[in-house]
């Protein structure tokens, strides 16, 4: 996925790999159903060059976190995974917030993307469990925790890079590949979840989820709805009360697209409904507390769970200044040529002043109309949410068949 290129800008862009949605012709037999598929995250070794992969190549890696099905842990973290490359496709790049449009214009719009279908997870006892998989993203992730505006301003004033602005955040040392997967029907376990009695999930409890659709400050509007899926069972007193596969309904409460004067966008999401497999919708109130995003993303999470784009950095400013200088030069030269063509007595000296005024106006308008960074949260992004109010669950038996 990281393709070598001669130009520096291209190389930088490819280090910022993005989350890629499932393509129709690369969907495995379970049709990429994110509501029912297993959720796998694996660590790829640095020696693996995804751009050089060919059909039939075999990759060995390890799970970066456990894999769950309903209330059961199927594979522990650290389990070895063996992946087989089915083919390599050219796919369109997903939007990101790394660079202004003046840089994106010169970047390739497509990239090579390996397609995997068959894989297996090796157990500690030597057993091998086959899986049908579909790769949905490949990047280096950074965990961004909610932080107050005071902490963010202090970090910015201290000159800390984005990756260091949150002391509780972590940057993975390995490339992370995210898959949706399914067991063969003959090996799919039947799991049951039965509550012993009425259960309350206390306010402050957390759940790990993945987003089932892309949201962004630039395109999402207030009132837009979305869904997320719990990928790790929630327990109360060692009892599973929310199985893996439970769904959360959410709504965009506030959305501000990127604005002029390089002001970034913002997005505020709220989760308001919970659906346990086989159960009914339960009203809830839950807030985003952290998010796993690409290490080069400039998105922050405030103390209220709002997503905000960071201020443009030096590279962003230099790119716009470079474009401004180019526009000023072109305007200057063009203005002189036009005046000299209209006025026969005009010379370079006599038109220089007018040309410079025109160049200054054009460059000034360009800088004033530059928009800031967008907030783009791709499909299958992993998040953590906190229940702001207690959630009351009644006894029910849920049967999940994978």
Q: What are the DSSP calls for 374-398, one per residue?
A: --EE-TT-EEEEEESS-EEE---EE
Question: Per-residue confidence of the chain (402 residues) as pLDDT tens digits?
Answer: 344 433 333 332 332 333 333 333 334 444 445 566 899 999 888 777 777 788 888 889 999 999 998 888 999 999 999 999 988 888 777 666 666 666 666 777 777 788 888 899 998 888 899 999 988 888 888 888 886 544 444 444 444 443 334 434 444 446 888 999 988 776 666 655 665 567 889 999 999 999 999 999 989 999 999 999 999 999 988 888 899 989 999 999 999 998 877 788 899 999 999 988 766 788 999 999 999 988 878 888 988 889 998 877 666 666 666 777 776 777 777 877 777 777 766 666 667 777 777 777 877 776 676 777 888 898 999 999 999 999 988 765 444 444
Domains of the chain: 8-312+373-395 (2.40.128.260), 314-368 (no CATH)
Instruction: Classify 214 as helix, strand or coil.
Output: coil
Identify which of 205, 162, 197 has the alpha carbon closest to the alpha carbon of residue 299.
Answer: 162
Q: What is the DSSP letter of 140?
A: -
Q: How many whole angstroms from its chain centre is CA 197?
A: 38
Identify which of 311, 214, 223, 224 has the alpha carbon closest to the alpha carbon of residue 264.
Answer: 311
Name the helix (H) or strand (E) containing 320: helix 314-342
**Using CB atoms within 10 A of its CB, is residue 5 exposed (0-12), middle (13-18) or buried (19+)?**
middle
Report the C-alpha gap between 354 and 154 in whole angstroms: 45
Report the C-alpha gap between 302 and 152 in whole angstroms: 9
pTM of the shown model: 0.72
Instruction: Classify 68 as helix, strand or coil.
Output: strand
Joined together, the tokens standing for residue 184 give 């063969």
């Amino acid at each position: 996925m990281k393709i070598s290129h001669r130009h520096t800008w291209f190389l930088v862009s490819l280090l910022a790999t993005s989350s890629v949605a499932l393509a129709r012709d690369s969907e495995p037999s379970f049709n990429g159903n994110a509501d029912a598929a297993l959720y796998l995250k694996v660590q790829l070794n640095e020696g693996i060059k995804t751009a050089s992969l060919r059909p039939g190549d075999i990759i060995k890696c390890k799970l970066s976190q456990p894999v769950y099905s309903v209330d059961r842990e199927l594979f522990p973290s650290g389990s070895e995974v063996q992946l087989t490359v089915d083919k390599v496709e050219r796919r369109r790049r997903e939007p990101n917030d790394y660079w202004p449009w003046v840089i994106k214009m010169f970047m390739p719009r497509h990239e090579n993307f390996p397609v995997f279908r068959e894989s297996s997870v090796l157990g500690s006892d030597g057993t091998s469990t086959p899986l049908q998989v579909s790769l949905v993203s490949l990047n280096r992730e950074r965990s961004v925790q909610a932080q107050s505006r005071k902490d963010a301003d202090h970090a910015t004033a201290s000159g800390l890079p984005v990756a260091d602005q949150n002391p509780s955040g972590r940057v993975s040392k390995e490339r992370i590949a995210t898959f949706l997967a399914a067991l063969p029907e003959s090996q799919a376990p039947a799991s049951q979840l039965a509550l012993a009695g009425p259960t309350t999930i206390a306010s402050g409890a957390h759940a790990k989820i993945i987003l089932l659709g892309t949201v962004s400050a630039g395109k999402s509007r207030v009132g837009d709805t979305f869904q997320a899926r719990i990928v790790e069972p929630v327990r109360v007193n060692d009892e599973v009360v929310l199985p893996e596969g439970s769904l959360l309904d959410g709504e965009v409460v506030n959305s501000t697209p990127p604005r002029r004067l390089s002001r970034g966008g913002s997005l505020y999401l709220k989760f308001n409904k919970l659906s346990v497999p086989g159960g009914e919708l339960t009203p809830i109130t839950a807030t985003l507390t952290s998010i796993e995003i690409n290490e080069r993303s400039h998105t922050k999470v405030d103390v209220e769970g709002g997503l905000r784009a960071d201020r443009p950095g030096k590279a962003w400013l230099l790119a716009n200044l470079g474009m401004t200088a180019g526009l000023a030069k072109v305007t200057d030269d063009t203005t002189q040529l036009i005046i000299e063509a209209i006025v026969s007595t005009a010379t370079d000296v006599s038109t220089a002043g007018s040309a410079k005024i025109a160049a200054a106006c054009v460059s000034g308008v360009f800088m004033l109309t530059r928009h800031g960074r967008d907030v783009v949260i791709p499909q299958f992004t992993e998040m953590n949410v906190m229940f702001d109010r207690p959630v009351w669950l009644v006894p029910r038996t849920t049967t999940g068949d994978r």
